[in-house]
Copies of this chain bind each other. A is one copy, B any other.
Amino acid sequence: MKERVIELLKDKKYNAVRKEILELNAVNLADILEELDIENALIFFRMLPKDVAVDVFSYLSNEHQMEIINSITDKEIKHIMDELFFDDMIDVLEEMPANIVKKILKNTKEEERKLINQFLNYPENSAGSIMTIEYVGLKKMMTVKEAMEHIKKTGIEKETIYTCYITDESRKLEGIVSLRKLVTSDETKTLEEIMETNVIYVNTHDDQEEVAHLFKKYDFIALPVVDKEHRLTGIITVDDIMDVIEQENTEDFHKMAAMEPSEIEYLDTNTLTLAKHRIAWLLILMVSATFTGRIIQRFQDVLQSVVILAAFIPMLMDTGGNAGAQSSTLIIRGIALGEIKTKDFFKVILKELRVSSVVGFALAGINFLRIYYLEKIELKVAVTVTGTLFVTIVLAKIVGGILPIIATRFKLDPAIMASPLITTIVDAVALVVYFSLAAWILGI
């Protein structure tokens, strides 16, 4: 379907395109628009019915939104900004360069401009920065019937009508009532009788990650956001939280691979930005790894007398690094999901001690059989390698298990204690164990 519309556009069969447009939803229309060059994108965008155009606009990537804003008239911009949900508008404004923001703001009313500025000032990744103001506000003296009539009149413009918010004259949050409750309640009851007063809410400055935790824990569709005076300032809906969850996960993936996290899609990021995100950590790790090199230098005479020892260095380093990375990943993920807390420190140590003994025993055993019987390596060397392997796996798993917890304890992000850093630490440990053991067993 997508390909056909693009074909039709290129052939300038605009009437046929108009027909197709009626069949498609906003998400698919946005998909098509993203595939077009700017000229055709603009033609296509202007073919959309006015209200559909706004919806489609909200689903476009920032790059395409910018291109369109740059090419359309002030009047068209004003229409889009008026019709967009408030949180979508803020998202657009946050990503635009200053000159375009000015261009947009000049078309809004004084009062709205003030509100926009307030929203733009919420810290990045705070509840305030992802909330919207289009909620259904009700009063507790209303009857169910009055409430339903109010929703009928204003519901179309709201982000969600499935949870409604009851506030007093000074906008303080008094309770919530779900549309389900309204629909299934007696029409003559007042909201005060049926509303839920034990409301779970967040503050404008709470971190979006905590908000996401609440959504996951309580299976909410929406959550109210209040300011310091407990006045209702907005709501957050579940669809925005799904984006937050993916964004937080992406951040963890990036950090765990020793990169600065980025919200921009890989293919849309330019070379220098990508390089910048990667260099700092690589450099730190590279310099750390040279200390590991020093260890080899220090044991140069051991190595020189039994050169075969060098052949097992990669295997010991890699296996140690991998063993540590497994443990640290499990713990980092467990902390992120709220399953593991700092108080579990000793439980984790004990568990990793047990698991690593089993894993270490199995791997060291197989390794010994292989190098002694198959590769016919001298017994003393085989014992040295096998012993080192076992000790390294146990140490690696304990280090990998506790460093993320220690990081959390010191209010650092546990995700930095992942594979790259663990590997560097474990490498050094493995080599010290290896050469010390070699010097002792081989009597060098």
- Which A residues are within 8 Å of any B CB, using their own CB? 23, 25, 27, 148, 151-152, 155-156, 161-162, 179-180, 183-184, 198, 215-219, 221, 238-239, 241-243, 245-246, 249-250, 252-254, 256-259, 265-267, 271-272, 274-275, 278-279, 281-283, 285-287, 289-290, 292-294, 296-297, 300, 303-304, 307-308, 310-315, 317-319, 321-323, 325-326, 328-334, 337, 339-340, 344, 347, 351, 354-355, 358-359, 362-363, 366-367, 370, 419-420, 423-424, 427, 431
Contacts and interface: CB of A to CB of B under 8 A. Distances in A.
A292 B315 CA distance: 7
B221 A238 contact: yes
A398 to B, nearest CB: 14
Contacts of A155: 180, 183-184
Contacts of A296: 310-311, 313-314
Contact of A359 (B282, B328, B347): B282
B267 A351 contact: yes
Given A183-B179, A274-B355, A303-B307, A344 B292 contact: no
A281 B326 CA distance: 10
A334 B258 contact: no
A426 to B, nearest CB: 10
**Counting chain B CB atoms within 10 Å of each CB, which of A180, A266, A271, A304 scores highest?**
A266
A294 B311 contact: yes
A431 B314 contact: yes
**Counting chain B CB atoms within 10 Å of each CB, which of A258, A286, A334, A367 scores highest?**
A286
A233 to B, nearest CB: 22
Contacts of A148: 183
Nearest to A148: B183
B27 A217 contact: yes
Contacts of A431: 314
Given A257-B419, A285-B322, A322-B423, 10 more contacts: A221-B238, A249-B249, A258-B326, A267-B334, A282-B326, A283-B366, A300-B307, A318-B424, A325-B419, A419-B420
